Amino acid sequence: MLKELFSKLEDYYEDMVTIRRYMHQHPELSFQEYNTAQYIKEFYEKLGVEVKDNIGGNGVVAKVYGNKPGKTVALRADFDALPINDEKDVPYRSLVPGVMHACGHDGHTATLLVLAKVLNELKADLEGNYVFIHQHAEEYAPGGAITMIEDGCLEGVDVIFGTHLWASEPTGTIQYRTGPIMAAADRFEIEIQGKGGHGAQPHKTKDAIVTTSQLVVNLQQIVSRKVNPVESAVVTVGSFMSENAFNVIADKAKLIGTVRTFNDDVRQYIEEEMERIIQGTCHMSGSTYKFLYERGYPAVVNHAKETEFLVAAASEVPEVTTIEESEPQMGGEDFSYYLKEVPGTFFFTGAKPLGAKPGYPHHHPKFDIDENAMLIAAKTLGTAAINIHSSK
């Protein structure tokens, strides 16, 4: 069966590339992916595959039923783009100003569509059922996964697999990890209210910029001095805003940033410690504050049995040259919600463009992938989906 699966995927590889490049040229932002969802739906309709759209928003779910009894396996791909201007000099450069696929979601979608086409052609010999989850809005919290789950995309699903094309790793590499592999990703805003005044009379003011500057430094003590060193955590201030003239002492300033953690207790502690530090810093200057802490995606925590199974499946793919354990990644992913509902695993498929030294990272204006990685991803996911029926 795997030999036939691989052969058909290879035959349709050019279709995979065509789909990926079309999507790369026509990206849509999170929660605005109407044309992309329609494209995916029409692809399945042409195959005669059961498909439903508007799942939890712009999500699309298709199903292929094998001719023999077995488990129900879900495979997931995301399809939203980012608000970044495409700066690559390639024929398939984005045609939408200020929007591009800078994280590989176009490749994820092309991979899953062609894999679904092949599994549909093989369904007479397949065991079990196959659910293809095409998810909108992965890039922007609250994300599309949670609403798709609420709308029933996991009903009857026994196991789920997902992959991310990983442009930092060479093609042929599969990276896995049991337990936490990607971090919980939270967002915060802190607004400091002081008392403005003339730049030449600081003694009559409560300088919001000075207070906020002290706060930036003080927040860094949470991870360095408050969190157990064996735990991974990040507190990053990404934006510092205050709008005033050169000779005006600001009455307001604002910080925006992110917190990344793996441990729920550490996550809760950091939120509480941030408020304590903000309160204390403002007390020193006589300022007041507003603190907004928004919890984003929880950590992606892979299940041990399914991760071990995935490693075995990857070893059967001829193009996979390296299978290695990944370090925990501090990036966030709402695949975490699926893993809270059903067993499964999320892994990385190396997709570093040929000749790239070191290549452009995800979310960069010149981001690209080695499209051969899509074939490896399809073979790995397909092998896992087929072989799971023989696992105990």
Half-sphere exposure of 122 (CA within 13 A, CB side): 24
Looking at residue 100, its pLDDT comes to 98
Residues with catalytic function = 80, 138
Looking at residue 25, its pLDDT comes to 98
Looking at residue 359, its pLDDT comes to 77
Separation CA 40–CA 43 (nearest Å): 5
Looking at residue 392, its pLDDT comes to 63
Looking at residue 208, its pLDDT comes to 97
Q: What is the pLDDT of residues 176-231, one digit of tens each?
A: 999 999 999 999 999 999 999 999 999 999 999 999 999 999 999 999 999 999 99
Q: Name residues whose C-beta falls within 8 Å of residue 133's C-beta, 6 or more positions apart in sequence.
A: 59, 61, 74, 75, 76, 77, 148, 153, 160, 338
Q: Look up tokens 């109407």; give the residue.
A: 34
Looking at residue 356, its pLDDT comes to 66
Within the chain, which residue ranges are assigned CATH 3.30.70.360?
A: 184-294
To the question of domain 184-294 being in CATH 3.30.70.360, the answer is yes
| Angle of helix 105-121 versus helix 372-387 axis, rounded to 10 | 50
Closest by alpha carbon to 37, among 12, 49, 24, 55? 55
Query: pTM here?
Result: 0.94
Looking at residue 228, its pLDDT comes to 96
| Highest CATH level, class, for 2-182+300-390 | alpha beta
Identify the three-state secondary structure at position 374. helix
pLDDT along the chain (392 residues), means of 10: 96 98 98 98 98 98 97 98 97 98 98 98 97 98 97 98 97 98 98 96 96 98 96 96 91 97 97 98 97 97 98 98 96 97 98 83 96 98 94 69
Within the chain, which residue ranges are assigned CATH 3.40.630.10?
A: 2-182+300-390
What is the sign of the dihedral through the CA atoms of 314, 318, 319 and 321? positive
Half-sphere exposure of 333 (CA within 13 A, CB side): 27
